[in-house]
Amino acid sequence: MRIAGIVAEYNPFHNGHAYHIEKTRERDGGCEATHVVAVMSGSFMQRGEPAVLTKFDRARAALAGGADLVLELPAPWSLSSAEGFAYGAVSLLEALGCVDYLSFGSEAGALAPLERAVNAMETERFATLLKYFMDTGISFPEAQQKALTEVAGATCAAVLSTPNNTLAIEYIKALRRLHSPMRPFTVGRYKVEHDSEVPLGNLASATYLRGLLRSDRMVAAFPFMPPPCVASLSEAAQAGRVCADATRMERAVLSKLRTLTMDDIAALPGISEGLEHRVYNAIRTAPDLATLENAIKTKRYPLTRVRRLIWAAYLGIPNTYTGAQPPYLRVLGTNSRGKEILSAAKPTLPLIHRASQVAKLGEDIQALWELENRATDLHALAFPNPLPCGADCTTGLVRGEG
């Protein structure tokens, strides 16, 4: 048995995701993985928005598309920076105790340039220069690229100019931070760029597909998905679970934010340098989310970071999770090979299959579980017809074939 771990959002699952899994399993040039475990974001995404489908429907699609076991990345980490997102997810794979490889996509398509960048970023000179550039008031990504250019040259720093490379670097850093025996493996991003609005052949970005779903053109998305995932999406649509849209939650979000005090805002993840004052003042006057986002964002605080902050405020995510590891492993779905992974696992964290297990666990686990339940229940308001509360407690383990 050779187990590979993948960190993903599958928002929604498409042919590019299936290609990644296929290359991870490949004997010639791949990991030769016999089993694949995916750590998947829950109800909210790293770019700062609700997922277009429920996490259970996305787990079902992941199993249909080639994964064997799906674990949930809880909201405090799925709504984190690239560093926090990667560290939280990789720590879950490490805690499973049986994963041999960490497989991730990258524009580089090779480990050497990514590891070269990480080596440079771990030097004292890089840390000093990063602080210097941050002190000039520019954003973290811009400061990071400037510092890396000074330390290792423009060619090395160029890897930070694309999103999948940036995440890949954070995955490698997380492996090192955790002293993990998992070996990194990267699959080159194939044909279609991240966030591309133009499909190519049977490949399209998740951004393009979300646009189709939100504009009620679901059928137009089918050619870009594996047939089993099309069936899963169609089933979700028939049940009224396609698709979630943040605009349906707008008044609910604004009303929640208007109840926050300055101290409440100061205790949110990502707040620093007096940003709470800017956020508080924007909340008091903004009539909609777009106006609120634009009132808060600056060169230092780009739009994606602001959106994550807004959703963290709405969901009640405190800054106490920043830099921490998730305290449990929550299984969303599995097939027969996934059960073999679980049999081989030597978990260092509680492994949760059903809600009833949580009451027997510690207070920190119960607190995060309640937060995740709240995120799921509030995410339910984003669908055309709001879904009922309690899905985390009433939805059973998603079962896949194979």
* Domain segments of the chain as ranges: 3-107+183-241+324-399, 121-159, 247-321
- Tell me which fold the domain 3-107+183-241+324-399 belongs to: Rossmann fold (3.40.50)
pLDDT lower than 50: segments of the chain: none
Question: How far apart are alpha carbons 335 and 331 in whole angstroms?
Answer: 11
pLDDT tens across 314-372, in order? 999 999 999 999 999 999 999 999 999 999 999 999 999 999 999 999 999 999 999 99
ω into 98 cis (within 30 of 0):
no
Residue 216: exposed, middle, or buried by beta-carbon count in 10 A (0-12, 13-18, 19+)? exposed
The pTM of the full predicted model, rounded to 2 decimals, is 0.96
Instruction: Tell me the pLDDT tens digit for each residue of 151-167.
Output: 999 999 999 999 999 99
